[in-house]
Amino acid sequence: MKTLRGLLGIDTQREQYAYADDAHAGYVSVQRLADRWVKTTCGYCSVGCGMSLGIRGDKAVAARGNPDHPVNSGKLCPKGLAEHHAISAPGRATHPMLRRNGHSSRVSWETAIETMMAEFRRIQERYGKDAIGVIGTGQLVTEEFYTLGKLVQLGFRSRAQYPPLGETWAGALRITTSTVQNAGSAFHAPARLR
Ligand code: SF4
């Protein structure tokens, strides 16, 4: 319902667009005012920039680069700066779904994992180990690439692991993946960052 100010045409919605002083971030929009800041890593791409997420209540309301992080020295690209919007975006997958007889329904994590394991075993027993393959993604950071490689090679015993399909990332990630696979037990920074 419109307020009297709105009816008079003088509503500037100043409550929504006001500024406030944040102890960590300084002068910010009141919409981005946080109770606390949590250090984390941007999950959008394999660069793995260090960031701080501003939390108000139980919701992420702001993102800032971590100036102490060796990868990005406090800088974030537009995707990283908008990361707090992605966390609560409508339509995000937050629980497993299982399709039976053409209909998807929510199931527990235990049911999802048991079903996945049973199906993987059935497929590999029938068609061979390489029948299970994994396509990578530019959203993984170096350590996750390493872990995924071990899961595919030692867990699934499959040789079918592929880089992301997008050509924008494929060249860079081939370098990253080969660096990780050659790293043995040590983690190396992606070659393109050196
Ligand atoms: S380059 Fe952008 S998307 Fe990639 S990790 Fe850094 S902030 Fe996130």
Domain encompassing residue 58? 16-87
Q: What's the pLDDT band for 152 if we cut at 50, 70, 90?
A: very high
Residue 6 lies in a domain: no
Cβ-based neighbours of 138, under 8 Å, separated by 6 or more: 45, 46, 164, 166, 168, 169, 173
- Of 44, 142, 169, the one to substitute when testing ligand 1's pocket (max ligand atoms within 8 A of C-beta) is 44
Q: Does the CB atom of residue 61 touch ligand 1 within 6 A?
A: no
Q: SS3 of 127, please? A: helix
The model's pLDDT over 97-115, given as tens digits with 9 standing for 90+, comes to: 999 999 999 999 999 999 9
The model's pLDDT over 28-70, given as tens digits with 9 standing for 90+, comes to: 889 899 999 999 999 888 788 999 999 999 999 999 999 999 9
Number of structural domains the chain divides into: 2
Beta strand pairing status for 161-162 and 26-29? unpaired
**Which ligand 1 atom sits nearest the alpha carbon of residue 47?**
5
**DSSP structural state of residue 152:** I
Residue 37 lies in a domain: yes
Q: Does the CB atom of residue 42 touch ligand 1 within 6 A?
A: yes
User: Taking the model in full, what pTM does it have?
Assistant: 0.63
Is 10 in contact with 49 (CB distance < 8 Å)? Answer: no
Residue 75 lies in a domain: yes
d(CA 105, CA 127): 28
Q: Does the CB atom of residue 63 touch ligand 1 within 6 A?
A: no
Does 135 share its domain with 170?
yes
Residue 190 lies in a domain: no
Does 73 share its domain with 127?
no
Range 1-25 average pLDDT? 82
Does 83 share its domain with 116?
no
Does 124 share its domain with 163?
yes
Does 82 share its domain with 126?
no
